[in-house]
Amino acid sequence: MSSPEQQQPRGQDARTRKMMANANGEMDETSGLTTPRSHEEPLCSSKANGISITRIPEEIRLHDPEAYEPKAVCIGPYFHSRRHSPSFRRMEQHKNWCVNRLVERSNHSLEPLVENFLLRLTKTIKTKSFGQLYAKQVDMTEEDIGMMMLMDGCFIVHFLLRHDPKKGAEYEYWSKLDAGFLDQEYDTLQWERPWEWSLVAIDMLLLENQIPFVAVRILFDILRTEHDRAVNLTACARNMFNKYLPAGMRTSASPIRCQDVRCLLQLLYRSLLPNPKVGSRLMEPPPKPPRPGMDPAKKLETDGVGITRRQQWTWWPWSRFQEPFSFLDIVFSRGKVQIPQLEVSDASIQLLQNLMAFEKCYHGTTWHVANYAAFMDALNADHNDTEMLRKRCIFHVQSTPAAQPELSFRRRCKQDVEPSPENYLSRLMVDVALYKEARASRKKTETPPMSDTMFFAVLAVMAYALLALCWYIVS
């Protein structure tokens, strides 16, 4: 099977440069494709607006470099030099297969696809070069960046189509390929290394391992077939997240338009944000400034505040009346802090690291993940708190008990997880403090209950008096 690069004619680079120079014109040089144009929102060329794919600051990367590096697939230019190393060679071959598969199923040819994609991407981003889509300068030519985004974009499009919740044509095709019903030269990875797709899904959500989602949208618009008319790429992505991400990181069902997605990690982040319908008081400003931090779990229990796992109803019809929630949706109700379960594993910690880095690197982003990590660290102060949270199934630890896993997000994520001033859990912490104060004041006014020792002493005296009376009557 020949790769897309090998199928390009020699004059392709010259035509590409010509298209880049004339991209703002009215004429469309690619008359070979008849797919409808979508009205993509123009992207500003300024790198300060948070649209470009950023790099991890060195002060964050140095704490744990491996947390931000892919293990199975390279996406974008920041890890371009590793693409042909043994760890990534299989997925690079798979990208070629994805391009050929999408071209074949849409009855297009490769050369018009390349020309149409580069022209439409150039007109959409409104920049002088593709390199301005990335915050740091990359050592690649314009043609190389364009072809890289085409290859990676087709890989992402095909991966998302495989997870269409409505089970479209590509979902059925891949299922038959896995089952061996189709005689293909391509040897599907599902047979040999099925676990590799979990690594791929995590790699696609690393902060630096991204391409702008506008490239994915354009490719899908060009290559879609009549079977793909009802496909929603964000719904496919969320279905993929829910399949491969650690338990507890289920995404919300609130609609997100494809035009509002800048990259896959941003889509995941927006899908995990707290649901404002879950608790109307969650986002309200607290009645008084919150006290910094939160008491440990055991201390809260001693003070009369319960800690329980928040569960999603699964029985019908009750499940229809419960709003979906993510692991960030912690609520306080009737004297109990209800916390959704989160799987604690290498994958979940890596995702938390990249989500917190995303919050720090993109201006105007809320710090909900960092605030969640700081809150959970305050609850989990020592091994007694850890044991209680594990027994309540709030932490689902993916390791053997003998391993004694580290459950401190501050130490495992190797980042500062101090709460930000605009903490979405501030109202909850104030409500907990007010509940404790009210409970303590009630205890002072109420008659203190009889202690167990006094109760048994009174019972013994009464029994002795009864025995003495019986002896007197008998005698």
Q: What is the pLDDT of residue 102?
A: 93
From CA 312, how far away is CA 327, in angstroms rounded?
11
Q: What single-letter amino acid sits at 85?
A: S
Q: Is the pLDDT of residue 233 over 50?
A: yes
Q: What is the mean pLDDT of residues 294-310?
A: 92
Q: What is the pLDDT of residue 28?
A: 38
Q: What is the pLDDT of residue 6?
A: 45
Residue 17 vs residue 50, higher pLDDT: 17
Residue 415 vs residue 451, higher pLDDT: 415
CB 206 within 8 A of CB 68: yes
SS3 sequence, the chain?
Answer: CCCHHHHCCCCHHHHHHHHHHCCCCCCCCCCCCCCCCCCCCCCCCCHHHCCCECCCCHHHHCCCHHHHCCCCCCCCCCCHHHCCCHHHHHHHHHHHHHHHHHHHHCCCCHHHHHHHHHHHHHHHHCCCCHHHHECCCCCCCHHHHHHHHHHHHHHHHHHHHCCCCCCCHHHHHHHHHHHCCCCCCCCCHHHHCCCHHHHHHHHCCCCCCCCCHHHHHHHHHHHCCHHHCCCCHHHHHHHHHHHHCCCCCCCCCCCCCHHHCCCHHHHHHHHHCCCCCCCCCCCCCCCCCCCCCCCCHHHHHHCCCEEEEECCCCCCCHHHHCCCCCCCCCEEECCEEEEECEEECHHHHHHHHHHHHHHHHCCCCCCHHHHHHHHHHHHCCCHHHHHHHHHCCCEEECCCHHHCCCCCHHHHHCCCCCCCCCCCCHHHHHHHHHHHHHHHHHHHHCCCCCCHHHHHHHHHHHHHHHHHHHHHHHC
Count of CB atoms situated within 10 Å of the CB of 142: 17
From CA 304, how far away is CA 222, in angstroms rounded?
60
Residue 319 vs residue 38, higher pLDDT: 319
Q: Is the pLDDT of residue 4 over 60?
A: no
Q: What is the pLDDT of residue 418?
A: 67
Q: What is the pLDDT of residue 305?
A: 94
From CA 328, how far away is CA 372, in angstroms rounded?
6
pLDDT confidence band for 219 (50 / 70 / 90): very high
Choose the weakest-confidence range: 19-23, 43-47, 314-318: 43-47
pLDDT confidence band for 148 (50 / 70 / 90): very high
Q: Is the pLDDT of residue 214 over 70?
A: yes
Share of the chain above pLDDT 70, in %: 74
Can you read off the two tokens belonging to residue 407?
């459950």
Mean pLDDT of the chain: 79
pLDDT confidence band for 445 (50 / 70 / 90): confident
pLDDT confidence band for 63 (50 / 70 / 90): confident
CB 354 within 8 A of CB 265: yes
Residue 99 vs residue 9, higher pLDDT: 99
Selection from 195-209, 268-282, 401-415 with the highest mean pLDDT: 195-209
Share of the chain above pLDDT 90, in %: 35
Choose the weakest-confidence range: 88-97, 147-156, 462-471: 462-471
Q: What is the pLDDT of residue 85?
A: 93
Q: Is the dihedral of CA 272, 273, 276, 282 positive or negative?
A: positive
pLDDT confidence band for 314 (50 / 70 / 90): low
Q: What is the pLDDT of residue 352?
A: 93
Q: Which residue has the tokens 């692991």?
A: 327
Q: What is the mean pLDDT of residues 69-87?
A: 93
Choose the weakest-confidence range: 221-225, 389-393, 457-461: 457-461
Choose the weakest-confidence range: 122-126, 200-204, 414-418: 414-418
Q: What is the mean pLDDT of residues 451-466?
A: 77
Q: What is the pLDDT of residue 23?
A: 38
Q: Is the pLDDT of residue 210 over 80?
A: yes
CB 149 within 8 A of CB 138: no
**Cα pseudo-dihedral 264, 266, 272, 275, rounded to 10:** -130
For the whole model, what pTM was predicted?
0.79
Q: Is the pLDDT of residue 136 over 90?
A: no
From CA 331, how far away is CA 281, in angstroms rounded?
9
Residue 395 vs residue 321, higher pLDDT: 395
Q: Which residues contact 455 (CB under 8 A, 6 or more apart)?
A: none
Residue 400 vs residue 475, higher pLDDT: 475
Q: Is the pLDDT of residue 132 over 60?
A: yes
Choose the weakest-confidence range: 3-12, 200-209, 223-232: 3-12
Residue 289 vs residue 266, higher pLDDT: 266
pLDDT confidence band for 304 (50 / 70 / 90): very high
What confidence tens digit (pLDDT) does each residue in 164-200 have?
988 877 877 777 776 666 655 555 554 456 678 899 9
Choose the weakest-confidence range: 3-7, 105-109, 203-207: 3-7
